[in-house]
Amino acid sequence: MSSLLIRGSQVVFPDDVRTCNVLVRDGRIADTDASPDVAADEVVDAKGLHLMPGVVDDQVHFRDPGLTHKEDLATASRACAAGGVTTFLEMPNTVPPAVTCDGIRAKETLAAKKSLVNYGFYIGATPDNVDELKAASDANFPGIKIFIGSSTGNLLVDQQEALERIFAETDLPICAHCEDESTVNANRAKYADTTDVRDHSRIRDESAALIATRRSIDLSVRHQHRFHVLHVSTAAEVPLIRGQQPWITAEVCPHHLFFNVDDYQRLGTRIQMNPSIKTAADNDGLWKALLDGDVQVIATDHAPHTLDEKSVAYPKSPSGLPAVENSLALMLNQVSQDRCRLTDVASWMCDAPARVWGITGKGRIANGYDADLVLVDMALSQTILDQHQHTKSRWTPWHGVTTTGWPIATFVAGHRVWSRRDGFDVNHRGRKPLFDHARGGFWATTDGIGPR
């Protein structure tokens, strides 16, 4: 048994922010209103700071195994810790693809050896692995990932018969990359000779996203199967998502909130992403969707490549960018600019993803929850720089951007895994959470996912 007292911080609860002393015992929150003099093995004086729940990033690509020259679970989890991310859920398009239960267990074994923070891994759908997807329902995995659009290996699933089987015969929640393959291929033929990265947003256009999102929502509602729309990139998708309780939830990524097609001239392939960056009007529409509650989650789609790879002329340049260590700071900066509240950020980045995927004991500061916590200095301004990044790729599309509000210490199960002053505790390891899908997902857990 060990104990930690975080004393005098402004604690971010789901509905308000108030000064409290938070007591942690044996990795869990024991008291959110403790006496300032209660005995503890470690006391952190947090006066003037804010205490938030740890971020749950439900969409990352950490490249381990198979592409570890770009990233691996050790470097990625350090980037998570420095960014206030205490739990990540990783996508299956590694090498080899994680499309079997044994493949997921192999990744869990890697993470148990390498990761500073908590971890979970989606099982990938293929046109012919429904039996594996069915077996996964008993394996404590977060969910199933479908690529309804281009991917690596055999992960593309765009035939209607295969999609119907997946939605009809499996039990785990499903998420998908929604871009219609036929539309993308037809557009690509129109721009076959292009070397202009701006054409990436014309090839992967609004129609490609709309067609695939509409198709996925139809499958979900007809089969009454919980479905999470990943990385919504267009304002036009929002009306499709709105009001589809209890089956549909959705998320948006920082790059689709903060970048648009006008930024290609300045940033080039650094912002080449799938789905592509869209327009300034889409930025505004996605912000409105967040604030109105039509989109519930912010996640990063952290997908690093080396800067040399990204510097190759389009279209040979790969899509993807690193984001886990800057996503929280980018959103805290929006709080400092009065665009949203700290409680909004905690909802979008912590509570909502935990509820979507049934991650028990995560996402809130409440008695009995896991002590996955982030201390934040809302007065701290800092410039994001390539050379300061902890991700193995060592670059960021936000290079040179100054933001206000930064994590200064991150705790996983009450253990300080990183602080601005002392750096990383590289000897700590995160754990696989419990994914309790029987609790019903986001729409069934308005009071939080609850402890184990």
Distance CA 364, CA 13 (A): 7
Q: What is the DSSP string of 78-121?
A: HHHHHHTEEEEEE-S-SSS---SHHHHHHHHHHHHHH-SSEEEE
Check residue 352 and give left, alpha or beta (phi > 0: left; psi -120 to 50: alpha). alpha
3 state DSSP class of 230:
coil
Distance CA 256, CA 264 (A): 13
344 is a catalytic site residue: no
101-114 vs 73-83: helix crossing angle, rounded to 10: 60
Nearest to 32 by CA among 15, 18, 50, 47: 18
Q: Where are the alpha helices (DSSP H) in 13-172?
A: 73-83, 101-114, 130-135, 160-169
**Own/partner pairs, 134-138, CB within 8 angstroms, 24+ separation:** 134/169, 134/170, 134/171, 135/101, 136/101, 136/104, 136/170, 136/172, 137/170, 137/171, 137/172
- CB neighbour burial string for 26-57, b if at least 16 within 10 angstroms, e if fewer: ebbbbebebeeeeebeebbebeebbbbbbbbb
120 within 8 A of 91, measured Cβ to Cβ: no
- The single residue of 64, 301, 372, 377 carrying the catalytic annotation is 301
H/E stretch holding 251 reads strand 248-252
Check residue 436 and give left, alpha or beta (phi > 0: left; psi -120 to 50: alpha). beta
Q: Which amino acid is at 134?
A: K
Taking the mean position of all CA atoms in its chain, how far away is CA 239? Answer: 23
73-83 vs 327-336: helix crossing angle, rounded to 10: 10
Q: Which residues are catalytic?
A: 301
